[in-house]
Amino acid sequence: MPRNPRKPRRLVTGGRVYMWTLRHSHGVTDSGRSCRETLTLSPQPSSTSGPLRIVFGEGPGRYVPGGAPLGSGDMGYVGGASLNLHEPGAVRALLDAALDRGWQPEGRGPVEVDGWSLLEAAAAARAGGVGPEG
């Protein structure tokens, strides 16, 4: 039976548990419809801190899933770094990149980060074999 894509998944790293989900959404811009992917990581227990939302929006030279030929969760730069956000190793690499840039799981309230600012570092870490299976 296939995994329910809306059910939160569990990631353990650095002695901390995170629950994570991936959501696709649409918006309207001056140039038409735009797609975005939001990866949400919630430190556990959730009552002690807010979630980290890593957002990937469409833009020139970038792709996010919005139908064929892209697979769900595939995103990246055209001709450059890419990740599949359904892979635990990719999620771990993005979390590590956010932590390296100063995000703290003990913070209060939700934090939203532009995923494109983390993508190249996360993809390089994945290519180097850093992080869990993916």
- The residue extents of the domains of the chain are 9-127
Q: Would you say 118 and 97 are in contact if contact means Cβ atoms under 8 Å apart?
A: yes
pTM to 2 decimals?
0.84
CA 76 to chain centre: 11
In which region does residue 131 sit, left (phi positive, over 0), alpha (psi from -120 to 50) or beta (all else)? left
Q: Is 119 helix (H, G, I), strand (E, B) or coil?
A: helix
pLDDT tens track, the chain, 134 positions: 345 657 899 999 888 999 999 998 887 666 666 788 999 999 998 766 789 999 998 889 998 876 555 667 888 999 899 999 999 999 999 999 999 999 988 877 899 999 999 999 999 999 885 544 44
Structure tokens at 120: 């190249």
